[in-house]
Amino acid sequence: MLSEETSEEFANEVFHAKDKEDINGFLVYLADRIQCFLKMTREVEEYGNRQLKHDLEVFKSNIYNLSDEIDTYDKISQKSKKNLKDYLNNLITVI
């Protein structure tokens, strides 16, 4: 439906927005996972949704593994890689 309302180029870009082969896609993918993690954490910690507790732990390990993928992107500076990895490690450690 999107391609009917917009250009094919834009629709293609949206469709591949989370393509981890591309640095921009990886960053969108990473941001999406962080947002999901924060939402799941809120559900468990603030709203008492204990059914998500196990899933949250699994998701936490998935985010931890994403920090290893950061090193595979040459277009990210070493400083930015360190900052991203530190952020992810702090996020999963604190929560």
* Region 80-89 average pLDDT: 93
Rounded to 10°, the helix 23-45/78-94 angle is: 20
Contact 55, 43 (CB under 8 A): no
* Region 59-69 average pLDDT: 88
Between 75 and 18, whose confidence is greater?
A: 75
Cβ–Cβ contacts within 10 Å for residue 79, how many?
8
Q: Summarize pLDDT for 6-58 with one digit per residue, the tens.
A: 888 877 777 778 788 888 888 889 999 999 999 999 999 999 999 999 999 99
Residue 82: per-residue pLDDT: 95
Per-domain boundaries in the chain = 18-94
Backbone torsions φ then ψ of 52, nearest 5 degrees: -90, -5
Measured CA distances, 9 to 4, 17, 28 (Å): 11, 12, 18
